[in-house]
Amino acid sequence: MPSTPGTVVVLGTGGTIAGTAAHAAQHTGYTAGVLGAEALVAALPALQGLPLVAHTLARLDSCNMDGPTWALLAEQAALHLARPEVAGVVVTHGTDTLEETAYFLHRVVAAAKPLVLTAAMRPATALSPDGPQNLFDAVTVARSSGAHSAHGVLAVLGGVVFAGAELRKVHGYRQDAFSAGDAGPLALLEDGVLRVLRPWPNVPLHAVAASLSSLLATRAWPLVDIVTSHALADGRVVDALVAAGSRGLVLAGTGNGSVHAAVKAAAGRAMAQGVRVLRASRCQLGGVVGGAPDDLPSAGTLTPVQARIELMLDLLAAA
């Protein structure tokens, strides 16, 4: 392993950024995760000559992201960030579950240096792929120094830097597919120059972070599911999930976290059996604000997928 000061470590997990298609005009129906991190770095002339090290951890379509890959990614990211010669770590990832991985890493990795996730909406073989620019921008943020020196878990896409804890995917096809909701971007990349808009995120680690590797080496991830509330809903899904072994449930409620009466009743039965329940909003913006005394426990500003990760970590810590 080279020990050049200012080294950036690129960890590849697959995704569209590493995907290939049968022809250059094809933006859907491609195969994700074909190319390794080493190939992505080697194909980008602007990165040549920089102190970079690339490792491929997985070649997943991120819709299939799994617990072992999450655990390995967190372990490797923390290991490299602790090396004094490493300026930062970049993770190439698929867009489908990018917001989930970003939140998970935010909660379990002490990123006193930049831990930057990036991705692409078009495969590497596209006529105008977005991956190369996103990867270059991510490395730029990872190498930032001086007054603009970044830290924390970040995501860089389309010239915008987002906090990992605030990231959400808001479009299924367009290149500008990501947002930070009400919080907005942290910084912008303008012609290779980082313009910081607000302070870099703090690192409020979950209590389970200190023993995450040993916990996951000895036990399975706890089963936590998301149930969407909607018109004409009933409690069958909640009852079935509890019967199947769910230890936690996130209810993605309508509007400000409102939950259909039948689902709420089923959630009450689940809680009586020791199942943890959180109430989130299925809306992209706003989260859950306030509530009545008899409401189910609130996830606050967390999205349903973020609330699910938080419940999983809580259950791991309590085990």
Which amino acids are annotated catalytic? Answer: 16
Q: Are 138 and 90 in contact (CB under 8 A)?
A: yes
Tokens of 317: 């810590």
The 224-228 sheet, strands edge to edge: 224-228, 248-253, 276-281
Query: Can you tell me the distance from the alpha carbon of 146 to that of 150, in angstroms, rounded to the nearest whole number?
Result: 9
Query: What is the rounded CA–CA span in Å between residue 83 and residue 58?
Result: 22
Judge whether 185 and 196 are in contact, CB under 8 Å: no
**β-strand pairing of 160-163 with 152-157:** antiparallel
* Residue 89 near residue 142, CB atoms below 8 Å: yes
Give the residue among 54, 57, 66, 121 at the shortest CA–CA distance from 90: 54
